[in-house]
Structure 1
Amino acid sequence: MITLDNVHKTFGTNAVLRGVNLSVAKGESLVIIGGSGTGKSITIKSVLGLVTPEHGTITVDGKNISNGDRDAFLARFGMLFQGGALFDSLPIWQNVAFRLLRGSLKRPKDEAREIAIEKLRRVGLKPDVADRFPAELSGGMQKRVGLARAIAAEPEIIFFDEPTTGLDPIMSGVINELIREIVVEMGATAMTITHDMTSVRAIADSVAMLHDGVIQWHGPVSEMDTADDPYLQQFIHGRAEGPIDAVR
């Protein structure tokens, strides 16, 4: 579904991506791991077309992302942002139905509200949440609202950016289970960025480690713990000693 072929991206003198090669099969849940500042977010932004690589090609479902109708292209994606990124001035149902109230996916207001309430139910929130505002919800509830918004338009591809950041271990487990259930239920292709190894084990079919601008290791999550790559082993076990410089 998604292929990156020798993708390079530089900001000034900082070469963030130095030849990323990666493929994600249709219906697969891929988790990208790696230290802060290694280019994980830039990789996702490159797929979305939010940043333009200087070199390499990116295809989605066999089509180059630089070609075709931009609105139709973006309509295929859903996104759960790291900080929730909810609109404080909008009630919850309008946050969830944001894409359904405008643009190429626009639906009648009553229909959009019904879809929003159904998606809120899917992530474990009651209908009375619909008319509340983000500030009235806990961090875990806000994360669920963000997940409901990500799936509201039934996307083929969903990106999750640090989905459990700021949550306690129990709520993190709930969000991980919801993500896994929803991705499987929808048959969606998923790409997740996370530092949380518990999330990796709960969400991933496959894992890619990004280090020094390239994919250091890529394989099934079931092979991650026994892989002989020293960079991967240092990262997943949180060791200070190893080939990755802990002071950067």
Structure 2
Amino acid sequence: MIELREVHKHFGANRVLQGVNLTVASGSSMVIIGGSGTGKSVLLKCILGLVRHDSGAITLDGQDVTAGDRDAFLSRFGMLFQGGALFDSLRVWENVAFRLVRGARPLPKAQAREVAVEKLRRVGLKPEVADLYPAELSGGMQKRVGLARAIAAEPEIIFFDEPTTGLDPIMAGVINELIREIVTEMGATAMTITHDMTSVRAIADNVAMLHGGVIRWTGPVSELDRTPDAYVQQFIHGRAEGPIESVR
């Protein structure tokens, strides 16, 4: 469904992506791993067209992501942001229904609220949460609201940016389980950025490691522990010594 071929992106002298090649199959869950500052978020932004890549090709169903109707293109995506990115001044249901009431074909508010409440229920939140404000929720509840918003418009593709950051291990496990269930139920194609190896093993079908501006290794999650690649082994086991230089 998504294909990147020799994708390059630089910011001044900083060459972030230096020939990325990656294929994400329809209905699969791809997880991108790699150290901080390796370009994982830039990669997602290039796919979405929020950042224009310098060279190479990025296609969605064979079509160039930079061509065609932008609104129609973006309507195929949902996104769970790292920090939640909820609107503080809007109630929870208004956050979840944001696209539904402001899209090309807006729903009446009453109908949009019904959809929002149903999506909140799907992520384990009770109807009464709908009329609260984000500041009244715990971090874990805010993350669930963000997930409900990501799936509200029934997108074909969902991006997850560090979905368990800032959560305790139990809540992180809950979010991982929800992501896996929802992606499977919807038949959606998923791309996730994470440093959390527990999340990788819980939600990935396939894993790709981005380092040095290229995909160093990609394969099924079942092969992750068996790969002889020294970069992958150092990263997944958190070793200080290895080919990946630590910043001291």
- Taking structure 1 as the reference length, what is the TM-score of the superposition? 0.99
SS state at 2:241 partner: coil
Offset of 1:123 from its aligned partner? 0.0
CA shift digits 1:118-140 (9 cap, x unpaired): 00000000000000000000000
Task: Please name the residue that 1:19 is paired with.
Answer: 19
SS state at 1:177 partner: helix
Call closer, same or farther: CA 1:62–1:109 in 2, change over 3 Å. same
Task: Please name the residue that 2:179 is paired with.
Answer: 179
Offset of 1:105 from its aligned partner? 4.1
SS state at 2:7 partner: strand
How many residues end up aligned between the 2 structures?
A: 248
Task: Please name the residue that 2:39 is paired with.
Answer: 39
The question of 1:28 aligning with 2:28 is answered yes
Task: Please name the residue that 2:152 is paired with.
Answer: 152
Task: Please name the residue that 2:67 is paired with.
Answer: 67
CA distance in 1, matches of 2:71, 2:122: 26
- In the alignment, structure 2 segments of 5+ residues that lack a partner are none
CA distance in 2, matches of 1:176, 1:159: 14
Task: Please name the residue that 1:112 is paired with.
Answer: 112
SS state at 2:50 partner: coil
CA shift digits 1:145-185 (9 cap, x unpaired): 00000000000000000000000000000000000000000
SS state at 2:198 partner: helix
Q: RMSD of aligned C-alpha atoms?
A: 0.6
CA shift digits 1:64-87 (9 cap, x unpaired): 111110000000000000000000
Contact in 2 for aligned 1:99/1:105 (Cα 8 Å): no
Offset of 1:103 from its aligned partner? 2.4
Contact in 2 for aligned 1:162/1:194 (Cα 8 Å): yes
Report the residue type matching 2:151 in the other structure: I
Identical columns (%): 77
Task: Please name the residue that 1:136 is paired with.
Answer: 136
Equivalent positions of 1:163-178 (< 5 A) are 163-178=163-178
Contact in 2 for aligned 1:77/1:158 (Cα 8 Å): yes
- In the alignment, structure 1 segments of 5+ residues that lack a partner are none
CA distance in 2, matches of 1:242, 1:124: 42
Task: Please name the residue that 1:203 is paired with.
Answer: 203
Equivalent positions of 1:69-84 (< 5 A) are 69-84=69-84
Task: Please name the residue that 1:126 is paired with.
Answer: 126
Task: Please name the residue that 1:219 is paired with.
Answer: 219
Runs of 4+ in 1 over 6 A off after TM superposition: none
The question of 1:235 aligning with 2:222 is answered no
Report the residue type matching 2:158 in the other structure: I
Contact in 2 for aligned 1:134/1:142 (Cα 8 Å): yes
CA distance in 2, matches of 1:103, 1:217: 38
Offset of 1:88 from its aligned partner? 0.2
